[in-house]
Amino acid sequence: MSEFRADLLSDTLTTPSEGMRAAMAAARVGDDVFGEDPTVLELQERVAGLLGHEAGLFTPTGSLANQLGLRLHVSPGQELLADSGAHVVRAELGAAATFSGITSRTWRSERGRLDVAAALELVTVGVGPYQVETALIVVENTHNFGGGTIVPLETIRELRSATTGLGVAMHLDGARLWNAHVATGVPLESYGREFDTVSVCLSKGLGAPIGSVLVGSRAAIDEARVWRKRYGAGMRQVGILAAAGLYALDHNIERLADDHARAARFAAAVAEAAPEALDPSTVESNIVMVDVAACGLGSAQAAAALLERSVRAYAVDARRLRFVWHLDVDDSATDHAIDAVRDVLASG
């Protein structure tokens, strides 16, 4: 358990419930490198089905699931396109270039909104040996550094229609796609089938201790399995962990609405006290960005002041703090966070 009364650093902080631990202890296992772990196979098939794809691959991290997806579509020397705040270009430590020889270009977007025109303006295809060829566009939904922004399905479909004609693939970084699904009611399959590959995370809002799943065609996932082994991530009796993912799918998807409601309540309360710090109408899921600089504070200064009040947040940049709700943050912790943030912003 966290030592903070309100630990809003990230939704990766969740700890397994007693029910999840019991499911892990009872899991049937086998050697996953040989494709013989029955619990892993069940998880992979289930997630693939939810997202409208043929097959899935269990990975220990979301970054690995993303990197495998990128590797499938982009050859060394080709490029991917993403918005400038996307996790694959900002928070995966240059892995696409380091491991796969992939170059990247980005467009600027407001709060992680998908700008179809800006993305398509960067696409370069059919130019022979004279320019870098675009092979992939990456979309993130919900958008982490955008503040939990949800990309509308109709916008995704607009981009998909254009890229299909250009021969450019699409990958969805759906680490928090569960949140988009719960907030909008759009079926997971409706999102998933617009992309060639999709990665989803089990260890954020769903509360599993580890794991993501990459889904795609059977051929794509067979190739991804080879690259997972090459990257050193072949796993053995990992059904113990996959069981946590299955439990999360059964018990922790719909409850994401509670996180969204608490985040919205926090945003409304803070905006009432410091309207210059955030617009509560921009809070769409479980993430709230607060512009502490608008109140005369630096993000490091504000984060330190909150720590003294037993609240932990993440300094996204020099101006903003990110607060993330998850299953281990209840109403009482939310109330405490509201009081602490109001107090700190008033001191600016």
Per-residue b/e over 49-74, b at no fewer than 16 CB within 10 Å?
Answer: bbbbbebbbbbbbbbbbbbbbbbbbb
Query: Which 3 state secondary structure label does DSSP give 279?
Result: coil
CATH topology of domain 31-251: Aspartate Aminotransferase; domain 2 (3.40.640)
321-325 mean pLDDT: 98
What is the model's pTM?
A: 0.96
pLDDT of res. 279: 96
314-319 mean pLDDT: 96
- Per residue in 49-65, pLDDT (tens digit) is 999 999 999 999 999 99
The domain segmentation of the chain, as residue ranges, is 6-12+255-346, 31-251
- Per residue in 76-102, pLDDT (tens digit) is 999 999 999 999 999 999 999 999 999
- Per residue in 237-257, pLDDT (tens digit) is 999 999 999 999 999 999 999
Cα 156 to Cα 72, 141, 151, distances in angstroms: 20, 10, 7
- Per residue in 194-233, pLDDT (tens digit) is 999 999 999 999 999 999 999 999 999 999 999 999 999 9
Fold match flag (6-12+255-346 vs 31-251): no
- Per residue in 115-162, pLDDT (tens digit) is 999 999 999 999 988 899 999 999 999 999 999 999 999 999 999 999
**Confidence band, pLDDT 50/70/90 cuts, at residue 1:** low
> C-alpha 321: how far from its chain's center?
18
CATH class of segment(s) 6-12+255-346: alpha beta
